[in-house]
Amino acid sequence: MNTDTLFTKPISKQFEFDAEVAAVFDDMLLRSVPFYKESQALTRRFAVNALQEGGTVYDLGCSTASMLLEIERSLEKNGTVKLIGIDNSSAMIEHARKKIEAYGSGIELAEGDILTFPYEKARVMISNYTLQFIRPLQREGLIRTIAGALEEGGVFIFSEKVVSDDPKLNKELIDCYYDFKKSQGYSEYEIMHKREALENVLIPYTMNENIHMAKHNGFKTCDVLFRWANFATFIAVK
């Protein structure tokens, strides 16, 4: 796994999922997302629970396919589950393909736009820190598309960075998160430059806004599986 040192040098553009990011993305996630392994273990558990009778799984913004590989390892080898990863970054798809080949995996990959992808009926949809990169004007439409692609009783499991309505509390959450990043070896310089690169690219909602968005766009319920400061994992049931 390559070490993330992208922001040790001055930035010249906004954050994007290009070849540089793809090369260090697995390390970036582990060091930038608090309790990443724990939240992903919960995602895997609830996804597998929903797949007892088989079905199709989509990972929207699959990056290097780590989540789908974890789910595949946890499933019985009965051939009744189809795993599909979608990402609009050719660099991410390339890294995912190398992983899949190395593990002899049956995961399918598609380079495409999750907003317009021709989904077939699915049992599980997953989105790990992807919705926050979708422009707010398009986000609710994507949730309706996801709900429409799911079978009745199907689940959408998604993780997002969240904000607080209270400015003082929101600052404390951000400070808490930056302390976490420092504990993972990131310098003040790196933290500041990554924040600048993500400005107006990553647009988070509050926890309640995410729940409201799911419940008003095709899901009968939405709950929080995990939260640490300003990071949360949700499950919505159709």
Q: What is the pLDDT of residue 31?
A: 73
Q: Which residue type is seen at 180?
A: F
Residues 6 or more apart whose CB falls under 8 angstroms from that of 118 comprise: none
Q: What is the pLDDT of residue 187?
A: 62
Report if residue 77 sits inside a domain: yes
Task: Identify the weakest region by mean pLDDT among 5-9, 119-123, 172-176.
Answer: 5-9
Report if residue 161 sits inside a domain: yes
- The C-alpha atoms of residue 174 and residue 32 are separated, in whole angstroms, by 13
Report if residue 45 sits inside a domain: yes
pLDDT, tens digit, 9 for 90 and up, residues 184-233: 777 675 656 556 555 556 899 999 999 999 999 999 999 999 999 999 99
Whether 112 and 123 have beta carbons less than 8 Å apart is answered as no
3-state helix, strand, coil in the chain (%, to 5): 45, 25, 30
**Length of the chain in terms of residues written:** 238
Report if residue 14 sits inside a domain: yes
Report if residue 3 sits inside a domain: no
Task: Identify the weakest region by mean pLDDT among 5-14, 62-71, 132-141, 176-185.
Answer: 5-14
Whether 191 and 199 have beta carbons less than 8 Å apart is answered as no
Report if residue 218 sits inside a domain: yes
Q: What is the pLDDT of residue 200?
A: 58
Whether 59 and 128 have beta carbons less than 8 Å apart is answered as yes
Residue 11 banded pLDDT, cuts 50, 70, 90: low
Sign of CA dihedral 125, 129, 130, 135: positive
- The C-alpha atoms of residue 183 and residue 209 are separated, in whole angstroms, by 30
For residue 113, give Cα distances in angstroms to 88, 119, 140, 159: 5, 11, 16, 19
Q: What is the pLDDT of residue 185?
A: 74
Domain count for the chain, please give it: 1
Q: pLDDT over 70 for what percent of the chain? A: 79
Q: What is the pLDDT of residue 193?
A: 56
pLDDT, tens digit, 9 for 90 and up, residues 109-162: 999 999 999 999 999 999 999 999 999 999 999 999 999 999 999 999 999 999
The structure tokens listed for 121 are 């009926």
Q: What is the pLDDT of residue 156?
A: 98
Domain that holds residue 232: 8-237
Report if residue 1 sits inside a domain: no
Report if residue 173 sits inside a domain: yes
Please count the other Cβ atoms lying within 10 Å of the Cβ belonging to residue 75: 18
- The C-alpha atoms of residue 185 and residue 32 are separated, in whole angstroms, by 10
- The CATH number given to whatever domain includes residue 64 is 3.40.50.150
Q: What H or E segment, with its residue span, contains residue 176? A: helix 167-183
- Check whether 3 has a pLDDT greater than 70: no
Please count the other Cβ atoms lying within 10 Å of the Cβ belonging to residue 154: 22
